[in-house]
Every structure is written in C-alpha cells, then in structure tokens.
Amino acid sequence: ETGVTQSPTHLIKTRGQQVTLRCSSQSGHNTVSWYQQALGQGPQFIFQYYREEENGRGNFPPRFSGLQFPNYSSELNVNALELDDSALYLCASSLWAGTNEKLFFGSGTQLSVL
C-alpha cells in the first residue's frame, strides 16, 4: 500500500457534465501527478502540481484542470465530459518535482461517461 488515496473509486457521469476527482498524497510528498489510463493503454500524463502550482502539462485540453492545496492534496476537474474521457484516472505523489523520483500511485478512480 502506497499511502496515496483517491476518491471516489468509481463514478458514472453523462456527456457534458463536470467531474471532480480527489487525491491525498503520501505524507511528506509535495508533488502530485495525474495520469489518464484508457482501457488497454498505458497511463498518459495529464499534469503535475508542485507546491500548489502547475509544473508541467501533457497533451490534454484546457477542460482538464487541477488544483493542489496547502496540505499537498489535489483535485482533477474535467468539464464538458466526452465519451472518450471514460478511463482510469491515476494520481501519483513524489518527493520532488521535475525529477523522475519514484512515483507512488493511488488505486485510481474509474470514470465512466455515458
């Protein structure tokens, strides 16, 4: 068990709705990265937050946004949901930003968009 917790574990939404996913990082970790994993694919990097600031972003549209709080927990928000947003969303925390320090992953949130 990594100490990274994500909520909710499962979520069903309809197209056009908005969703917020939450992540509590491992104690002492100030960096959180979010990944999207579609069925049968590897995780795709969405963005990273370090000390409450976005610190890098993958090839995802602006309707994917995030926040990091002073306690280093994080949220991923997705607006105007599309069917292709159906995926497992993974949060990973690490000690340092901008390095390939070992990532500690949560168990993910399975999002289904109908």
Q: Which residues bind other proteins (CB under 8 A)?
A: 2, 4, 6, 33, 40-45, 48, 56, 58, 88, 90, 92, 98-100, 102-108, 110
Q: What is the DSSP string of 65-94?
A: EEEE-TTS-EEEEE-S--GGG-EEEEEEEE
Shortest Å, Cβ 106 to other proteins:
5
Contact 4, 68 (CB under 8 A): no
Amino acid identity of residue 111, one-letter, is L
Say how far apart CA 25 and CA 95 lie, in whole Å: 10
Cβ closest to other proteins, residue 78 vs residue 92? 92
Least separation, in Å, of the C-beta of 16 and other proteins?
26
Name the pairing type of β-strands 31-37 and 87-94. Answer: antiparallel
For other proteins, which is the closer residue by CB, 81 or 87? Answer: 87
Closer Cβ to other proteins, 72 or 89, answer by number: 89
Q: How far is the CB of 56 from other proteins (least distance, A)?
A: 6
Residue type at 76?
Answer: L
Give the nearer residue to other proteins in terms of CB position, either 18 or 47.
47
Provide the 8-state DSSP code for 95: S
Report, in Å, the least distance between residue 31 CB and other proteins: 11
